[in-house]
Amino acid sequence: MSLIKPFRGLRPTRELASRVASHPYDVLNREEALALARDNPYSFLHINKPEVDVDPSIDVYDPRVYEKGSENLQRFIKDGTLQRDEEETLYVYKQVMGEHEQIGLVAVASVDAYDQGRIKKHEFTRPAKEDDRVNHMDALGAQVGPVFLTYQAQAEINDMIAGVVSQEPEYDFQADDDTRHVFWVIRDAELVSRIEAAVNRLDALYVADGHHRSAAASRVQKLYKERNAEHSGEESWNHFLVVLFPHNEMQILDYNRIVADLNGQQAEDFIAALAKQFEIEKVADNAAAKPAAEREFGLYLDKQWYKLKANAELLASIDDNDPVQSLDVAILQTSVLDPLLGIKDQRTDARVDFVGGIRGLGELEKRVDSGDWKLAVALYPTSIESLMAIADANEVMPPKSTWFEPKLKSGLVVHVLD
């Protein structure tokens, strides 16, 4: 069974690419998206977050929102903002963020391979978010947000993609978040075939970001099969839009926690309880508190930063052979959040929230100092090797374990569900 194949991408013109490209649908709230889309009629937010174009009183999951997204997609096609490639091909997408650079292959991945576990996942999904993506894909007849995949780096694939990157790109622009985005269309059919074959020889691909989109694509395939009794298996809806990056180019940032209260404890009692499992040091600022390695944590409480290191007793209790329970996010749960703060399930407990590392530890201070939250915990980033090991073991990561940067732009290429 193949993992990926080329496809006929629906793309913006070269002149409009930088204006079309938008943030992913799930990193902006409605108000933030509206502010960005209001003065840019070409923004892809009109398609991947169409609530910006309906009355604010209408719920984001209302069918009228999806209908507006479909209407906007058809408008973009009709006015020539988006144009479809004549031939099936693959694409290359480079992102640059500060000193970090990553180069991915844009393709469509097999839903069957996903369903049978060759495209591996590591997170649970939420039904409401899955339903949203199913309804969005179905209404638009297209997948507009790529799933972020990774794979064990292979020199053969790297070398072929490097040859593409040495050529003139189709798009090359700096986005408003200071990330650079460069995009190539592979026009050599023989090279497309060789890259496709090399990727399909991989043992597995791994979902890094986009679990709801990939799960929704699987549901859409089943939905369309029910509607099309004469389906052949060759229809475009048997695949979903992806960008694949080699594992050694991935950048994972910390994913930090803020907590609403101390579960009835006084601050000094909470610190004393922590001291039974951690070596605790008061530090001057968040830079000194930022974890530099696994098993280290930063704690902000009552305008004071602390650096925490797991002590010998806690280290001895950790099973390093367990890919899930040995994660720092799991250690935080089992040693602090549950026993000391009474937070049993981070996924559902409103007393805990999550702050992506892209915002910096200053954001943790800001949230706690506002009075809305009592304390913050900074974590060391989860490694890509841990993610792959958990997926290989068919295990599931604790919620909000990874924050990938830079984010993939939406709108650079669309997969049409014919």
The residues spanned by each domain of the chain are 4-251+405-416, 255-380
Residue 256's H or E segment, with its range, is strand 255-259
- Give pLDDT, residue 26: 87
- Give pLDDT, residue 399: 83
- Give pLDDT, residue 314: 96
Task: Extract the runs of DSSP E, i.e. beta strands, from 164-295.
Answer: 171-174, 179-185, 205-209, 239-246, 252-253, 255-259, 278-283
Which residues in the chain come in under a pLDDT of 50? none
Task: Extract the runs of DSSP E, i.e. beta strands, from 152-222.
Answer: 171-174, 179-185, 205-209
The CATH number of domain 255-380 is 3.30.1760: yes
What span, in angstroms and rounded, lies between the C-alpha atoms of 330 and 196? 37
* Burial class of residue 155, CB neighbours in 10 A (0-12, 13-18, 19+): exposed
Q: What are phi and psi of 164, to 5 degrees?
A: -65, -45
Task: Give yes or no for a contact between 347 and 399, defined as CB atoms under 8 angstroms apart.
Answer: yes
What span, in angstroms and rounded, lies between the C-alpha atoms of 333 and 335? 6
Write the CB contacts of 50 (distance below 8 Å, at least 6 apart in sequence): 65, 66, 68, 69, 72
Secondary structure (DSSP) of 78-123: HTTSEEE-SS-B-EEEEEEETTEEEEEEEEEEEHHHHHTTSEE--S
Secondary structure (DSSP) of 353-374: EEEEGGG-HHHHHHHHHTTS-S
Residue matched to tokens 């995949």: 149
Residue 391's H or E segment, with its range, is helix 384-392
| Cα four-point dihedral sign 36, 37, 39, 43 | positive
